[in-house]
């Protein structure tokens, strides 16, 4: 049941209208209300920030197939705890989301959980095998707007071109999201290839693996006019390639993760498997380029690449442990602590990259703002000064966080999905 509530004297940030002011925000009947209902609950918003609910372009919910890592219910609960009202569920489940039946099953599980809207991402190729295109048409009819073989790149330029051309034929905008790593250059790689990998005796995954695919994909998108999105950029040269492509009019967007904006390959000196991910953490120079790209809009959105694993899977030797970190519950605080407070990006730009920009890419029209009367009350309210330590237990089923033990600032106090609290006073309600 939707709430009747007024957040009084709250700092309201609207990334679409660019309005940043202190005011009362009323919610009633699932929407932002023009006037406060007489029987509304009053919440003191002094010192708090209210913004559109966060939107994640890149979440691994693991269901179906890997429910020992995460489920749709636990993953969306983690999303709500982190201030998210919508997430894109990646297609590399078991079986993969390469047909409308799997897409609908994931959507039904999310609806039953009720914590967060889930927008299933469809596979580009059947079975994620990189051979034949999946049944994109039936998935578009089922509401899918983003397709990806995340975890691997589309293997050939020809297949990518066919997918982009096919996507253009639909009456709605369809986005192809690429995991940009050349498989032939990363085989056996455990971390970024460079001086640090050599000193640690670990096989490397070179930045060139990303740059080769980014350059290829941009060239194909330029030639056919298709709509391309690049997942989790990690290298400086890839950022520059995207910057030039945008200047040339290529229809491309890009995302970056909080962990790539914060960490470097130097963080792996202790062989910490929590900091092992694909693409890998790279150099300080790469990190600086990612931050600059986010600040100037070359990189559109911040995405978590939330990748839960079971405890026993991460508690292995570095070369045996799977890559990935959870991120839904820490993303906002990491961005506030490491990017906003030091002045790398403004709070408005950070909120834009976490809300309106990913909502636009995902086609999630009810999310990402603006904060206008009559709009669905998909909202987050957070305390930018609230300090906390990243530690288990999490709302997620997993605990493989790259930020374990770190002291962060920025605590989610309330999350609302269509006017219903999914988080109240800092605690998930479901």
* List 94, 305, 315, 319, catalytic entry: 305
CB contact at 8 A, 44 and 11: no
Whether residue 305 lies in the annotated active site: yes
- Rounded CA-CA distance 112/108 in Å is 6
Strands 420-424 and 427-428: antiparallel
Is the separation of the CB atoms in 6 and 34 below 8 Å?
Answer: no
Say if residues 419 and 375 touch (Cβ distance below 8 Å).
no
Residues tagged active-site: 305
């Amino acid at each position: 049941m939707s709430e009747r509530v007024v957040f009084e004297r709250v700092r309201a940030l609207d990334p679409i209208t660019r309005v940043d002011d202190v005011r009362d925000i009323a919610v009633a009947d699932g929407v932002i209300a023009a006037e406060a209902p007489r029987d509304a609950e009053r919440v003191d918003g002094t010192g708090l920030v209210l913004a559109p609910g966060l939107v994640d372009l890149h979440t691994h919910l693991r269901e179906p197939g890997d429910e020992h890592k995460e489920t749709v219910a636990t993953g969306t609960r983690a999303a709500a705890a982190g201030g998210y009202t919508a997430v894109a569920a990646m297609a590399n489940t078991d079986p993969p989301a390469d047909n409308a039946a799997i897409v609908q099953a994931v959507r039904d599980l999310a609806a039953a959980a009720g914590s967060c809207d889930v927008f299933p991402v469809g596979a580009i190729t059947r079975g994620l095998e990189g051979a034949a295109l999946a049944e994109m048409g039936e998935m578009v009819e089922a509401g899918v707007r983003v397709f990806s073989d995340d975890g691997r790149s589309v293997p050939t330029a020809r297949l990518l071109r066919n997918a982009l051309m096919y996507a253009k034929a639909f009456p709605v905008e369809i986005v192809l999201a690429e995991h940009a790593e050349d498989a032939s250059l990363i085989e056996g790689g455990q971390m970024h290839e460079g001086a640090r990998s050599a000193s640690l005796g670990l096989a490397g995954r070179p930045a060139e693996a990303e740059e080769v695919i980014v350059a290829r994909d941009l060239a194909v998108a330029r030639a056919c006019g298709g709509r391309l999105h690049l997942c989790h950029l990690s290298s400086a040269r890839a950022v520059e390639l995207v910057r030039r492509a945008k200047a040339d009019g290529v229809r491309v967007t890009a995302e970056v993760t909080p962990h790539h904006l914060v960490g470097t390959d130097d963080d792996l000196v202790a062989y910490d498997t929590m900091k092992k991910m694909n693409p890998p953490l790279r150099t300080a120079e790469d990190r600086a380029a990612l931050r600059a790209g986010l600040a100037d809009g070359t990189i559109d959105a911040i995405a978590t690449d939330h990748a839960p694993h079971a405890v026993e899977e991460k508690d292995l030797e570095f070369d045996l442990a799977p890559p990935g970190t959870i991120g839904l519950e820490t993303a906002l605080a990491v961005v506030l602590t490491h990017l906003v407070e030091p002045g790398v990006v403004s709070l408005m730009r950070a909120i834009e990259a976490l809300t309106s920009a990913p909502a636009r890419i995902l086609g999630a029209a009810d999310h990402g703002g603006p904060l206008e009367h009559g709009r669905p009350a998909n909202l987050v309210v957070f305390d930018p000064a609230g300090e906390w330590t990243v530690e288990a237990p999490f709302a997620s089923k997993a605990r493989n966080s790259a930020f374990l033990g770190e002291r962060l600032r920025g605590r989610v106090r309330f999350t609302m999905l269509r006017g219903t609290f999914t988080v109240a006073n800092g605690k998930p309600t479901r």
